[in-house]
Amino acid sequence: MQRYLVTGGCGFIGSNFISLLLRKRPDAYVTNLDALTYAGNPENLADVQGDPRYTFIHGSISNPADVAKAFEKVTDYVINFAAETHVDRSLTGAAKFIETNVMGTQVLLDAAVKNSVCRFLHVSTDEVYGSLGDYGQFSEAESPLAPNSPYAASKAAAEHMVRAANKTFGLKTVITRSSNNYGPYQFPEKLIPLFLTNAMEDKPLPIYGNGRNRREWIYVEDNCEGILAALERGQDGEAYNIGSPNELSNLDVTQAVLAETGKPNTLIKYVQDRAGHDFRYSMDCSKANMQLGWFPRVSFSDGIRRTAQWYKEHKDWWARIKTGEYLKYYEKQYGTK
């Protein structure tokens, strides 16, 4: 029996990870601590509801009492997905990102040290590296952390606290830095689910600036496999890039979405670029390849097809989300409904 505490497990990547973990590790018992903020949805884990190996606790990682409750059961491993993640929201409200991503991570680290967990894995992002020009890649050994948005800065700060816990208190830690994820259950404020659902409703697809900003896109299941590999085979105190060879411009991604939904290019709407918009991310993942034996398996063409099909089949899931406060935020952000 292995006991895992997963934080933020009702979110997009966290829920996919819990499903994969319970499916692949029969001896895994999972406690999911989630605050159920706007992007957290228990429906994301409908496939594990009723599994005796799964327990849900409603609580925040920034609340020591909630974290203490989550640690009441013996915990072998902690996997921290809990975070505020949307760059756009961080530009108008950085305080919440500091509270959850930095202070919340520290609360978890304190509890992990106190309870002598076997390993603490912190899920981070390629955005902590900053921005690239037309060439080059980020590497764990050679690229400094140089975040450019409040979101990225909060994730970089959390990484430093994880490193401090490892070096000062001997907590066994691993960090993963993933590229842009996409797939089932992603909240429709992020580019791919936003554009898929908008296209399905014949609504505009708002592209920042000229659409030439470039990202690496990784299918969520590939990322979850990488996180599990890092948890089980990663070296103590190390960080691992978890990315893919699927580097595309935002306009390329938009064209793929339109092709999958059978919608015309006239839905594209260029909007004012966001402040401090990083131009390009690309990661060297050879360290994860060599040390973890991990490689991404899903091509972008296959992944976008799977993702589009999921959103077509689950309109009831996303239609309920795209109402109320979501619409107010969307209109404020993009100047359109």
227-247 CB burial, b ≥16 within 10 A, e <16 = bbbbbeebeeebbbbbbbebb
Q: Which residue has the tokens 């990663």?
A: 234
- Token pair of 336, please? 């359109």
How far apart, in whole angstroms, are the C-alpha atoms of residue 248 and residue 270? 17
Quick one: which of 187, 71, 64, 76 has its CA closest to 121?
A: 76
Residue 114, CA distances (Å) to 3, 32, 109, 110 in order:
16, 19, 9, 6
Name the catalytic one among 54, 129, 151, 185.
Answer: 151
**How many whole angstroms from its chain centre is CA 142?**
23
Active site residue 316: no
Active site residue 127: yes
Please report, to the nearest 10 degrees, the dihedral formed by the alpha carbons of residues 182, 183, 188, 190 taken in order.
0
Name the catalytic one among 127, 189, 216, 222.
Answer: 127
Name the catalytic one among 34, 84, 126, 140.
Answer: 126
Q: Which residues belong to the active site?
A: 126-127, 151
